[in-house]
Structure 1
Amino acid sequence: MITPRFVLRKLTRADAPALYPSFADPVVMRWWSRGPFLSVEELAEWLVPSTGWEKGRSWAVTEGEGGSAIGRLAAIDRGDGITELAHLVIRERQGQGVAREALGALVDHLFGIEQRRRVFADTDPDNLASNRVLQSLGFVCEGRLREQWTTHIGRRDSLIWGLLDHEWQSRAQSPN
């Protein structure tokens, strides 16, 4: 997939060194369901398991065909035309619209090419940046699951953000 500024290509284990500083950063990983990674090897195995990832796919976000990863997107098949999304942008590139542009392209692909009927994301209520990105893409906050996760920072609530195929199509067709 190609956006005006980025290329989204299949994530490989070779992307782990570029992503590791952010995946090892306690500030960047604060709102994740797990704590920071302790080694590049641990991250590589988590990103691209040697046994394969049966229900999920990941993309590296790069600034060119051969560029280093500046972000990671994931799509997890939840059955019945439903896909869960996840993302991380390296610390140095946060706040520059990378997540919005890359996620927008992925959502467009999931609805337009793969004919998914619903995509959703699960975020920590205090992860203001991710919540703003999802809202800006047209996701609707569908609910709050209280103490849904026990994480490295304690029990955390979870916001569920959903977007339906016809909502995305309507958004794409409406003049802005």
Structure 2
Amino acid sequence: VNASSEDERLVVNGMSDYKRDAENANSALVVSVRPEDFETNSPLAGIEFQRKYESMAFKLGGSDFSAPVQLAKDFLAGKKSSQLESVNPSFTGKTVLSDLRSCLPEFISDTLSEGLRYFDNKIKGFASGGAIMTGVEMRTSAPVRIARDNNFESVGIQGLYPAGEGAGYAGGIISAALDGIRVALAAIESCNTGH
């Protein structure tokens, strides 16, 4: 789905209907991005990074919130897709055949290529058979992190326990849930010991 929240910036987000009975499987490959990958040392450099590539994706899609799509095999070959094959995009809006490498930093494109090859060796057809990539999803995790100490409590604000994706400590539903459990246990322990 289109998850854009700003003019002239495109963000997509994978989702599945509650019945999980759609025509296509929905999966994602996530690439770690670290502060040293940003162009500046600004506290908001992560947001600047997201906005830059979301703007590039918007333009690549035709500047009308159409999503750029590419066959996985063409992504691996480094060429723009010219036609779809056996899989139709499940994106809810319009799509444009593209070369997703032109709206991603090189290190992300290279890492995605490694991941596609790895998964295609484990799950035959993952990167072939008409498999489609839709981009870009630059918001799997918060671009900022609320500092917390070893007891999971906010640095500087006693009694505040930042947790999950929004606080910058998870990158998905499961990791957010696990982080939430760890933080809840720490908060309970703090209440029990009177700290």
TM-score scaled by structure 1? 0.26
> Normalising by the residue count of structure 2, what TM-score does the alignment of the two structures yield?
0.24
Q: Which structure would you say has the larger Rg?
A: 2
* Structure with the larger strand share: 1
